[in-house]
Amino acid sequence: NSDDVDQVNYKTLSRFVMANTADQELTILMGAIALACKATARACRKAGIANLFGLAGEQNTSGDDQKKLDVLSNDIFVNALLNCHACAVLVSEENEDPIIVPPSMQGKYCVAFDPLDGSSNIDCNVSTGTIFGVYEKTIPGPGTVDDILRKGKDLVVAGYCMYGAATELVICFQGRGVHRFALDPSIGEFIHTHANVKFPADGGKKIYSANEGNSGLWDEPCQRAVAHFKSGDKPYALRYVGSMVSDVHRTLLYGGVFIYPADKKSPGGKLRVLYEGFPMAMIVEAAGGVASTGLFNGKIHRMMDLEPKGVHERCPVILGSERDVNLVLGFYDTAA
């Protein structure tokens, strides 16, 4: 039976990667990312026992207090990526400056990542995740920041790993198809569970996901969109974890819309273009959804077309099923 087949014929991540690229360096890089995800998953699972909850006593680039697990997961990712010899430039949410890989260890890929996203959920054992985007270097010579300040549509790989009830890795190669892998802890391997994931065809469940506590500070179209979701006899459900990976993952599988708009406190939005916006935008579009910024710097942008000028730049985020993202964007058209 199929269970027996599954126990002799493992559809591992490395097997999938080898079948989807002839580039051995990319295969090695994906191995390093998978290793770092597994090590981070283990750290999250053991955090209570290993005294890993709480603050590390430092602040990151945004002035946020760093948690012990933020620091540990960042060290895990930086070490794995440096030592796989496949990278030239690394950008992490937790490091103010890009890390330029020394020539003796340099490869041709550049990785932007948020090692442990969803900081506010770390200490109460709610799902967190890693988000990453991989570019291939196009300019010859040592790595520079220009190798990674690129549009989202140039990504070679977009992915996230969710540290939830199960550890799940979702990846997309060059916008082609979205694939889900679940960590089988008994063999320590990511196993391919779902190919070519798509949003539910009809837009799926009617769910909106936003930190509505900030709604008084949003622009008027977002306020009206959410008022619309709540109106009538069959209002939308509100679901908001507060970890982007979990909120986007649910949106992808069930449908609906995730919004983190600009607000009066943060006029550029909260989420980061390179390692939050772009990878999620590529995955969402490849799954048949829409990823937009809403009105941002005078115009509504397809998120993947943004051209970041700084590695920690932010943007507003409206993403999800075509039905619901277009519904939100429609309120910009009708704005006076």
What residues line the site for Mg ion (CB under 5 A)?
A: 114, 117
Residue at token pair 């008084």: 216
Element of type H or E holding 302: strand 299-302
**Structure letter (DSSP) for residue 243:** -
The yes or no reply on residue 94 touching ligand AHM (CB under 6 A) is: no
Q: Give 193 or 211: the residue with its C-beta nearer to ligand AHM.
A: 211
Cα(172)–Cα(251) distance, integer angstroms: 16
94 assigned to active site: yes
Q: What is the C-alpha separation between 164 and 150, in angstroms, rounded? A: 31
**Site track for ligand AHM across 229-248, x = CB under 6 A:** -------------xxx--x-
Pick 17 or 148: Cβ nearer Mg ion: 148
Nearest-angstrom CA–CA distance, 333 and 132: 33
Among 24, 83, 120, 196, binds ligand AHM (CB under 6 A): 120
Draw the binding track, 262-291, toward ligand AHM (x: CB under 6 A; -: no contact): --------x---------------------
Q: Which does 242 bind (CB under 5 to 8 A by kind): Mg ion, ligand AHM, none?
A: ligand AHM
| Contact assessment for residue 327 and residue 316, using Cβ atoms and an 8 Å cutoff | no
Using CA atoms, how far apart are residues 53 and 46, in angstroms rounded to an integer? 10
Binder of residue 211, out of ligand AHM, Mg ion, none (CB less than 5 to 8 A by kind): ligand AHM
Q: Is 219 a catalytic residue?
A: no
What beta strand segments (E) does 154-277 contain?
Answer: 157-163, 167-173, 178-184, 189-194, 207-209, 237-238, 257-260
Q: Which is nearer to ligand AHM, 111 or 156 (CB)?
A: 111
Q: Is 212 in the site for ligand AHM (CB under 6 A)?
A: no
Residue 204 bridge partners (DSSP): 255
User: Which residues are catalytic, by number?
Assistant: 64, 70, 93-94, 114, 116-117, 276
